[in-house]
Amino acid sequence: MANAFVNSLLVTIPSVVIPITIAAFAAYAFAWLEFPGRKFFFVVVVALMVVPLQAALVPLLRLYVGIDLNGTFLGVWLAHTGFGLPLAIFLFFGYIASLPGEIIESAHVDGASPMTTFTQLVLPLSVPVIASFAIFQFLWVWNDLLVALVFLGGEPVVTSALANLVGDRGQDWHLLTAGAFVSMVVPLVVFFSLQRYFVRGLLAGSVKGG
- Per-residue model confidence (pLDDT) at position 168: 60
* Whole-prediction pTM: 0.81
- Hey, what's the torsion of the CAs at 149, 153, 159, 160, to 10 degrees? 110
Which among 62, 101, 104, 60 is positioned nearest to 83, based on CA atoms?
60
The residue with greater pLDDT, 25 or 69, is 25
Model confidence at 17, in pLDDT bands (50, 70, 90)? very high
Predicted confidence (pLDDT) per residue in 82-131, tens digit: 888 998 999 899 888 888 888 888 888 888 888 888 888 888 888 888 88
Q: By CB neighbour count within 10 A (0-12 exposed, 13-18 middle, 19+ buried), where does 23 fall?
A: buried
For 56-85, how does the pLDDT look when each residue is reduced to its tens digit (9 = 90+)?
888 888 888 888 888 888 888 999 998 889
What the chain holds in terms of domains, given with CATH numbers, is 2-203 (1.10.3720.10)
Q: What is the DSSP string of 159-185?
A: HHHHHHHT-TTS--HHHHHHHHHHHTH
Contact predicate 204/31, CB 8 Å: no
Quick one: pLDDT at residue 24?
Answer: 93
Give the DSSP letter of residue 179.
H
Q: Could you tell me if 31 and 101 are in contact, meaning their C-beta atoms sit under 8 angstroms apart?
A: no
Please give the Cα distance from 24 to 8 (Å, whole number).
24
pLDDT band for 18, please (50, 70, 90 cuts).
very high
Report pLDDT digits (tens) over 121-142.
888 888 888 888 888 899 889 8
Name the more confident of 44 and 109: 44
pLDDT at residue 112 in the model = 81
| 26: amino acid identity, one letter | A
pLDDT in tens, 138-171: 988 988 888 888 888 777 888 877 777 766 665 6
> Which residue type does 65 have?
V
Find, among 152, 141, 131, the residue nearest to 195 by Cα.
131
Q: Is the pLDDT of residue 208 over 60?
A: no
Cα(181)–Cα(97) distance, integer angstroms = 40
Query: What is the per-residue pLDDT for 210?
Result: 36
Please check whether residue 55 is in contact with residue 169, taking contact to mean a CB–CB distance below 8 angstroms.
Answer: no
Provide mean pLDDT across the span 2-29. 90
